[in-house]
Structure 1
């Protein structure tokens, strides 16, 4: 055994002296302009051809780029292009771009994707190209994405005996089993590093985002309700007795209408009166209003002199307001006639912009003057009404800038601004204070009557490193996150957490702002790092 070891040692020393030092395979990852660029290539050598496997991922959906072409270009120190190549997708997300490498030196690598959405260019950093080896050293440059060829780490390496030598020394193999403790120590050093293939990421719900330093405050959660804003619901009223029919086509539930758009046609009955009758109503209402205003002014002057009681002024004001409302109603009914109506019919027009919310009648029905025919709701003018108990109000620092979450959805949305209305007092039942916020810019995701959860700040915001709460994993009682260090490289990272509110969590230590953290699929990556068969490391493109 001793002679065998001595002979093997001599062979290893000879190999170290005679074989060249091999460069590592090239891996580059960049996140820019909505794309993730992950490039792989065999060790570079001046004057040789290399195929760069570009994995292109859309960051908004974390899906492979399927269309267009990818181009790579090497620029020298003067900015001139010294090598370039272009390729279409060999498989979804994978573009094999071939380059003829220039002389040894340092070059800037630029990637460009051209597709239906336009052109996007990204600076992929600098690459060093060494001189080619002096001896005939065969490179396997066919790093193809073929299901039939799996590149298993530490098993099939294109550099033969040299790879075996490096494998021997890096793992400190002991055929007699006397150094098992060293193997365990080596495993612990790399225990938090995880390889998770890009193709696996594309096939699952996966996402990663940079940890951000933002203003963050503790919040309490209170119930809320979506309601239409005052004046958002308009009613279509029959101005006279008659029969309703379609003006152009009969209105449909949910159909969008514009103010003044024809909705129905009202054919007046013989005893219902026509335009002359409505004009008479307007004239009578105008005369009544003029008399009421004159009486109100007279009594107001007398009350100031102490001649009449204040109660008579109040009664005169009420009469004036009633007369004014009657005049407005008569004018509105007269306006429905329009210039295009014949003496026996009235075109009934949409009272506001919005969507048809309800229809109270059908075509051919007889309706009475003043009867409601339909309602139109402006769905873009909604209120978020938060319901606060007295104890909640004591804790809330400010009512401005709440956050809201829909039922069954873990995503929170921020609302900027102050309340547009407060109830002013706690109301029974339940002694609730109602506070309303406008939702005009956010209305597309809400509907009247929808229950929501509202988060309101209890302190002034402070700068903190934040993550979505779903990025945090409880790993046997230890809070950990999965940090993405490269396209297919990840790291299990224990962290210490702080405040949690509105779907986000503060990271006190263990993570720096800007590091990319897996927010969807983190547990699957963690399990891949514990695969004892090393199945997650075989690169089977």
Structure 2
């Protein structure tokens, strides 16, 4: 019964439509809507991209009534542009045939209606103002008798601008650029040995167990003047710190007494000189013994029965060799620290590949799942290369220094490296995040207009510095989605995949 009602309704609607069309034949000024596609809403689209802006007109073409009606969509940096004002018009031979103000609907969407004039193929032009700037956008020729919109591909999916504006959604044109010749390697970032500082014990003794909180741990950052540790020297021992300190104090007191006596001519000048030389020798030995002032990496504070070691430079602790309460001897290492601004990259790869490393023009490092660091040739320097780093003889190692002031790398961090050895050949490239991995193949989403996209299989090639070469399936100038790929993948999941063609 429901089916019969639908059929009857369809027949009745058709008869009414036929009657209406016949009536329009007698009233041309109202327009013939038999070709207007009001029911099918077949939209023509024209999109213009200018730097970070996108302007799209999406309109229905009413052939016999001689008009177009639709919407202008204004986008900047993937967001809707609000408060756009101005006009759309038809121009022919520099003459304005018809002009209409745009009216704001919502977000970056504005509606308009225009009538054809004497020309059937005028240029559609917009004169707009937004954010204090004025724009003239030439959308090109509009054909009154264009008929049905041309589909840019076999399978095109619409992804509305309103949905795009809710996302971080960007597109970019494929460009020719050179992807360099690359050598793959793995390894890690380590402290630059030229900027590693060892803290050694100036005396025999033991690490004070009562100062547990002072002793830093590996990975901890210390600043100039920070306490590093406390040492308790033995009170009795041959050539001990206590003996040297006592001998120095006694020599100092004897010298000060000699100064007073020489002023009163109570001692000979020769005896005064003996006291002075004794004091200078004891003082030099004491200061050298405890490292008075700055002694490389430490400043040592004499606090009677303790020696406190303070850092004389900023750095990061790379290794601690002692524990609280441990006995140590003069010259034993206590800890080492390094300057994190300077690192080495120890990279291992196949020897055959490393034979190409006559010059290194840059390195791309993968430091995490989606984290990359790119270093150009001004940021790196080859330190050494080992032609054979394993017993098989198939692998080699290179050591490369780099400045790390932006702290993008950490010491002992594992890395995967692509070492640039030459300029390579130019090819069609897109940002690497435009690729979507569908396990058996890679796809990109080609943008044909502001809201029309094609899911296309491509063949990727070499990658470097965030870009990937597309060896098959994409042409220079075609736009692809670079941000918002996954939401578009979900929206086009049931679409048949276009396989493109070789370029």
Task: Give TM-score scaled by structure 2 length.
Answer: 0.58
Task: Give TM-score scaled by structure 1 length.
Answer: 0.54
The answer to whether the 8 A contact 1:275-1:343 is kept is no
Deviation of the 1:401 alpha carbon = 1.8
Unaligned regions of 5+ residues in structure 1, if any? 44-50, 77-82, 100-104, 113-120, 129-165, 172-185, 281-326, 533-541
Specify the alignment match of 2:291 in structure 1.
Answer: 333
Which of residues 392, 399, 409 in structure 2 aligns to 1:430? 392
C-alpha separation in 2, matches of 1:84 and 1:341:
82
C-alpha separation in 1, matches of 2:84 and 2:247:
78
C-alpha separation in 1, matches of 2:304 and 2:430:
69
Which of residues 331, 344, 351 in structure 2 aligns to 1:390? 351
Which of residues 221, 225, 229 in structure 2 aligns to 1:256? 221
From the superposition, tell whether residues 278 and 25 of structure 1 become closer, same or farther in structure 2 (CA, over 3 Å): farther
Unaligned regions of 5+ residues in structure 2, if any? 1-10, 61-69, 89-100, 113-123, 140-144, 249-284, 496-503
- Is 1:420 aligned to 2:388, yes or no? no
From the superposition, tell whether residues 75 and 388 of structure 1 become closer, same or farther in structure 2 (CA, over 3 Å): same
> Secondary structure of 1:217's partner?
strand
From the superposition, tell whether residues 73 and 505 of structure 1 become closer, same or farther in structure 2 (CA, over 3 Å): same
Deviation of the 1:202 alpha carbon = 6.4
The answer to whether the 8 A contact 2:290-2:300 is kept is no
C-alpha separation in 1, matches of 2:26 and 2:243:
113
From the superposition, tell whether residues 370 and 421 of structure 1 become closer, same or farther in structure 2 (CA, over 3 Å): same
Which of residues 496, 500, 503 in structure 1 aligns to 2:462? 500
C-alpha separation in 2, matches of 1:472 and 1:454:
20
Q: Larger strand proportion, structure 1 or 2?
A: 2
From the superposition, tell whether residues 95 and 221 of structure 1 become closer, same or farther in structure 2 (CA, over 3 Å): same
Post-superposition Cα deviations, 1:56-82, rounded to whole Å, max 9, x if no partner, equal: 6756xxxx68xxx95435499xxxxxx
Which of residues 129, 139, 156 in structure 2 aligns to 1:193? 156
Which of residues 403, 410, 413 in structure 2 aligns to 1:440? 403
- For the aligned residue pairs, the C-alpha RMSD in angstroms reads 5.5
> Secondary structure of 1:384's partner?
strand
From the superposition, tell whether residues 57 and 73 of structure 1 become closer, same or farther in structure 2 (CA, over 3 Å): closer
Which of residues 427, 441, 454 in structure 2 aligns to 1:464? 427
The answer to whether the 8 A contact 1:244-1:267 is kept is no
Deviation of the 1:436 alpha carbon = 1.8
The answer to whether the 8 A contact 1:257-1:353 is kept is yes
Number of aligned residues = 395
Post-superposition Cα deviations, 1:408-465, rounded to whole Å, max 9, x if no partner, equal: 3475734424643123542442333321222323773433333322223465423332
The answer to whether the 8 A contact 2:214-2:227 is kept is no
Specify the alignment match of 2:479 in structure 1.
Answer: 516
C-alpha separation in 2, matches of 1:530 and 1:12:
43
C-alpha separation in 1, matches of 2:317 and 2:439:
55
From the superposition, tell whether residues 202 and 338 of structure 1 become closer, same or farther in structure 2 (CA, over 3 Å): same
Post-superposition Cα deviations, 1:10-45, rounded to whole Å, max 9, x if no partner, equal: 345446542399998998775656xx66778999xx
Map 1:65-464 onto structure 2 (within 5 A).
Answer: 70-72=82-84, 74=86, 94=107, 108-112=127-131, 125-126=136-137, 170=148, 191-198=154-161, 200-201=163-164, 207-240=170-203, 241=205, 243=208, 246=211, 251=216, 254-271=219-236, 272-274=240-242, 276-277=244-245, 330=288, 333-335=291-293, 341-350=302-311, 352-361=313-322, 367-396=328-357, 398-406=359-367, 408-409=369-370, 411=372, 413-417=374-378, 419-431=381-393, 432-441=395-404, 444-457=407-420, 459-464=422-427
C-alpha separation in 1, matches of 2:134 and 2:289:
68
C-alpha separation in 1, matches of 2:72 and 2:242:
80
The answer to whether the 8 A contact 1:195-1:490 is kept is yes
Post-superposition Cα deviations, 1:257-277, rounded to whole Å, max 9, x if no partner, equal: 234433334454423424945
From the superposition, tell whether residues 38 and 347 of structure 1 become closer, same or farther in structure 2 (CA, over 3 Å): farther
The structure with more radius of gyration = 2
